């Protein structure tokens, strides 16, 4: 125990000699260490799958050392370019889920890709149930792909297909940073893309409520295939609209009467604009409606408030977007961070 004070005293003397050297002593400064600035890491992600989502996703996610390139299934020259990019990329990213290989995943496996993300977004889970029931799922897809789904309920559906899945919302670049005021005229915006799948999107419900509420104007957007049979006079029909911003600004209510859905871009965009949203699913800032009677009653309630000039923007919906982390910049950062984890794993 007596040695400890002597050791401390020796350290003090050495420190004194260093910090207070005798006169004439020259202390050379340490040689500077040359540190080369590290080159920013460049990460390449090949995006494939549903064109509308994939193109928007690639445009939004690129930048800050990330390069996302979208390649559709079109043309021989495009497929050759996609093969080159697939060979060189760090991550292969498919939007739209499946339990079998398909051409894209066949190529990814042939190139020995180890970092593959598959993002499930909606009716893909319905389409794949039949494949699973016939026991045609690919073990390679189950074991070698990171499966993501854009909502909690869709994550559960993917897991019932026999896949391990994590929730990751898909970002829409059309969600605004701030809402806009409601218009002076009351109207309801709905979306039906395809007559062949009109039951899934609830066209029958839209037509019934529109006929029962002739005093309410309905705007139907997105129709690409087929025509609406015998539409009522208060239902205006529009084709495919790339950016629904103007339609959101003209609507007070957005109604999505679907029978199955993922985390709808239309719902997120409408909430970001401050619109009142009726949806078949329970979601923050939305009013869940289960059937025609629910929807009709809610539309009438909102219309009455609008006539009394007491209907403001949907502040709860705006908070659900901003505080829930659904703004594009927030989801971009979250997805990049998760992809970084995958690259390092």
Residue 310 lies in a domain: yes
Q: Are residues 115 and 209 in the same domain?
A: no
Distance, CA of 160 to CA of 119 (rounded, Å): 16
Considering the entire predicted model, what is its pTM? 0.86
Indicate whether 17 pLDDT > 80: no
Residues 55-64, mean pLDDT to the nearest whole number? 97
Of the listed ranges 40-49, 130-139, 157-166, the least confidently predicted one is 40-49
Residue 29 lies in a domain: no
Q: For residue 345, what pLDDT is reported?
A: 85
Distance, CA of 280 to CA of 70 (rounded, Å): 32
Query: Position of tokens 């006079």?
Result: 233
By residue range, what is the domain housing residue 210?
A: 187-323
Residues 155-174, mean pLDDT to the nearest whole number? 97
The CATH number given to whatever domain includes residue 193 is 3.40.50.2000
Q: Are residues 289 and 303 in the same domain?
A: yes
Q: Are residues 250 and 231 in the same domain?
A: yes
Residue 284 lies in a domain: yes
Q: Are residues 334 and 212 in the same domain?
A: no
- Which pair of structure tokens corresponds to residue 129? 């149930």
Residue 277: HSE in the Cβ half-sphere, 13 Å Cα cutoff:
31
CA distances for 26 relative to 11, 17, 87, 162, angstroms: 21, 12, 60, 74
Highest mean pLDDT: which of 2-11, 66-75, 128-137?
A: 128-137
Q: Are residues 129 and 55 in the same domain?
A: yes
Residue 12 lies in a domain: no
Q: Are residues 231 and 303 in the same domain?
A: yes
Contacts of 13 (CB under 8 A, 6+ apart): none
Q: Are residues 158 and 230 in the same domain?
A: no
The distance between the two most distant Cα atoms of the chain, rounded to a whole number of Å, is 104
Residue 78 lies in a domain: yes
Indicate whether 7 pLDDT > 60: no
Residue 116 lies in a domain: yes
Residue 227 lies in a domain: yes
Report whether 29 contacts 297 (CB < 8 A): no
Q: Are residues 285 and 333 in the same domain?
A: no
Residue 279 lies in a domain: yes
Q: For residue 76, what pLDDT is reported?
A: 73
Q: Are residues 100 and 213 in the same domain?
A: no
Per the structure, the count of domains in the chain is: 2
Q: Are residues 145 and 192 in the same domain?
A: no
For 181-219, the pLDDT digits (tens) are 999 999 999 999 999 999 999 999 999 999 999 999 999
Distance, CA of 24 to CA of 123 (rounded, Å): 84
Q: Are residues 310 and 205 in the same domain?
A: yes
For 212-259, the pLDDT digits (tens) are 999 999 999 999 999 999 999 999 999 999 899 999 999 999 999 999
Q: Are residues 335 and 304 in the same domain?
A: no
What are the φ/ψ torsions at residue 236 (nearest 5 degrees)?
-95, 135
């Amino acid at each position: 125990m007596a040695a400890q004070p002597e050791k401390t005293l020796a350290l003090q003397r050495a420190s004194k000699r260093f910090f207070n050297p005798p006169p004439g002593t020259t202390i050379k400064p340490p040689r500077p260490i040359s540190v080369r600035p590290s080159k920013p890491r460049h990460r390449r992600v090949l995006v494939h799958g549903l064109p509308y989502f994939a193109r928007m996703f690639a445009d939004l996610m690129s930048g800050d050392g990330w390069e996302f390139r979208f390649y559709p299934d079109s043309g021989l020259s495009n497929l050759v370019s996609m093969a080159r990019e697939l060979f060189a990329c760090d991550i292969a990213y498919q939007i739209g889920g499946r339990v079998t290989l398909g051409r894209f995943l066949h190529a990814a496996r042939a190139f020995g890709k180890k970092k593959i993300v598959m993002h499930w977004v909606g009716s893909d889970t319905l389409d794949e149930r039949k494949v699973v029931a016939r026991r045609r799922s690919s073990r390679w897809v189950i074991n070698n792909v990171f499966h993501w789904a854009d909502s909690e309920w869709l994550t559960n559906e993917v897991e019932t297909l026999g896949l391990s899945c994590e929730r990751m919302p898909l970002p829409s670049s059309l969600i605004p940073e701030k809402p806009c005021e409601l218009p002076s005229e009351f109207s309801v915006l709905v979306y039906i893309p395809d007559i062949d799948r009109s039951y899934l999107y609830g066209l029958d419900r839209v037509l019934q409520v529109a006929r029962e509420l002739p005093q309410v104007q309905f705007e139907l957007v997105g129709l690409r295939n087929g025509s609406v049979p015998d539409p009522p006079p208060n239902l205006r029909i529009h084709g495919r609209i790339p950016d629904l911003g103007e339609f959101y600004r003209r609507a007070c209510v957005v109604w999505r009467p679907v029978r199955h859905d993922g985390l709808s871009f239309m719902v997120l965009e409408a909430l970001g604009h401050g619109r009142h949203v009726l949806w078949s699913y329970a979601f923050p800032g939305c009013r869940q409606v289960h059937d025609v009677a629910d929807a009709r009653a809610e539309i009438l309630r909102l219309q009455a408030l609008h006539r009394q000039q007491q209907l403001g923007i949907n502040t709860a919906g705006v908070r659900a977007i901003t505080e829930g982390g659904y703004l594009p910049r927030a989801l971009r950062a979250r997805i990049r961070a998760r992809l970084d984890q995958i690259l390092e794993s």
